Amino acid sequence: MKLAEFDYPLPKELIAQRPARERTASRLLHLDGKSGAIRDLTFADLPGLVDARDAVVLNDTRVIKARLFGKKASGGRVELFIERITGEHEALGLMRAGHSPKAGVRLTVGDGAAVEVLGREEDLYRVRFAEPVAEVLERCGSVPLPPYITHRPGPEDSERYQTVYARNPGAVAAPTAGLHFDESMLQKISEKGASISRITLHVGAGTFQPVRAENIEEHRMHRERYEVPRETMEAIAGRRVLAVGTTSLRALESAALSGAPSGETDLFIHPGFRFQVVDRLLTNFHLPHSSLLMLVAAFAGLENVRKAYAHAIRERYRLFSYGDAMLIERAV
């Protein structure tokens, strides 16, 4: 398929720059992938759409404060975006600098924390911190908001660009469908008889990158770490699986395809993919040309998604990470 098939007119004023006043206050577009029917609802209506047949699966990854600013010994400015913590003192990250630093170059970031460049692995730099990486990020890092959110991260983002059930640090982007839930909403869903279980997929920086290959089948995804616990596999067996977010879906489908309940996945889901696990998907709206939009098109049917997005834009839904949500019933 061609990249141009996954484009749509994007009114910039619909890109949500701030979260809704309350987590559950967003709108919810319900799309039936079989019939193409669309309903305009609110997120507060979600408990009425689930019952004892449903197994709801959440991604419990926790966003780390992955963006660091500093300088080289020469005085040149550096921005270091941690993609993955690989050890107590080591990490892989993207680096922006006037001149690409070579192995052995020493940096200071934040309040003077020392970092040494060890080398490169493709487009990432391997770096070593004098202190534990997690401590430096918590003390000196900033919330890695997506590039389409234009304000500087503040205290509100530290709270709201994180799900209420986040517990496993490692993501550099939030699993944004989960941002709509508060504890009360989770309780209401549980009271309807639905099971609630968790997976972990640490969202990487590649989630912000558009697909650039004209033939989308040539696109290659960044690898991301995932784990599907045994209790989650048991909870979903024989039930209607509702994945909260594309990351939950990719973890479940990756485990089914590979037979491995944990590991790394570069699964690229696009139209033609045969789903084995997930029946229902709760997700936000996604950027043109993004792999996430292609996943949604695979799940609901490209024409249905085109119509749903056109409807959402006409009805002035708020878009992307801090925006409104969709509940999608799988097409086939």
Q: Three-state DSSP class for 107?
A: strand
User: 214 and 3 in contact (C-beta within 8 Å)?
Assistant: yes
Domain shared by 195 and 292, yes or no:
yes
**Residue 293 belongs to a domain with what CATH number?**
3.40.1780.10
Residue pLDDT tens, the chain, 332 long: 999 999 999 999 999 999 999 999 999 999 999 999 999 999 999 999 999 999 999 999 999 999 999 999 889 999 999 999 999 999 999 999 988 899 999 999 999 999 999 999 988 999 999 999 999 999 999 999 999 999 999 999 999 999 999 999 999 999 999 999 999 999 999 999 999 999 999 999 877 789 999 999 999 998 899 999 999 999 999 999 999 999 999 999 999 999 999 999 999 999 999 999 999 999 999 999 999 999 999 999 999 999 999 999 999 999 999 999 999 999 98
148 in any annotated domain: no
In degrees and rounded to multiples of 5, residue 102 shows phi and psi of -100, 165
User: 228 and 251 in contact (C-beta within 8 Å)?
Assistant: yes
Domain shared by 102 and 47, yes or no:
no
Helix (H) or strand (E) holding 297: helix 291-300
Domain shared by 107 and 163, yes or no:
no
Domain shared by 160 and 23, yes or no:
yes
Question: What length does the chain have?
Answer: 332
The domain boundary, picked from 112, 140, 168, lies at 140
In degrees and rounded to multiples of 5, residue 201 shows phi and psi of -135, 120
Domain shared by 87 and 118, yes or no:
yes
Q: What is the pLDDT of residues 245-268, one digit of tens each?
A: 999 999 999 999 999 999 999 999
Domain shared by 175 and 238, yes or no:
yes
Domain shared by 57 and 81, yes or no:
no
The domain boundary, picked from 140, 166, 195, lies at 140
Q: Within 10 A of 28 (CB to CB), how many other CB atoms are there?
A: 21
Tell which residue, 322, 295, 327, 273, has the closest CA to residue 18. 322
User: 144 and 63 in contact (C-beta within 8 Å)?
Assistant: yes
pTM: 0.95
Domain count, the chain: 2
In degrees and rounded to multiples of 5, residue 111 shows phi and psi of -90, 20
146 in any annotated domain: no
- DSSP codes of every residue in 181-244: --HHHHHHHHHTT-EEEEEEE---GGGGPPP--SBGGG--PPPEEEE--HHHHHHHTTSEEEEE
19 in any annotated domain: yes
Domain shared by 162 and 231, yes or no:
yes
Domain shared by 170 and 284, yes or no:
yes
53 in any annotated domain: yes
State which amino acid sits at residue 132: P
Domain shared by 31 and 123, yes or no:
no
The domain boundary, picked from 140, 164, 179, lies at 140
The token pair that represents 234 in the structure block: 């048991």
Domain shared by 276 and 170, yes or no:
yes
User: 163 and 58 in contact (C-beta within 8 Å)?
Assistant: yes
In degrees and rounded to multiples of 5, residue 108 shows phi and psi of -125, 135
Residue 178, domain extent: 3-63+156-329
Domain shared by 35 and 160, yes or no:
yes
Instruction: Please give the C-alpha separations between residue 127 and each of 82, 90, 151, 282, in angstroms, as whole numbers.
Output: 9, 6, 28, 36
Beta-carbon contacts of residue 259 (< 8 Å; ≥ 6 apart): none
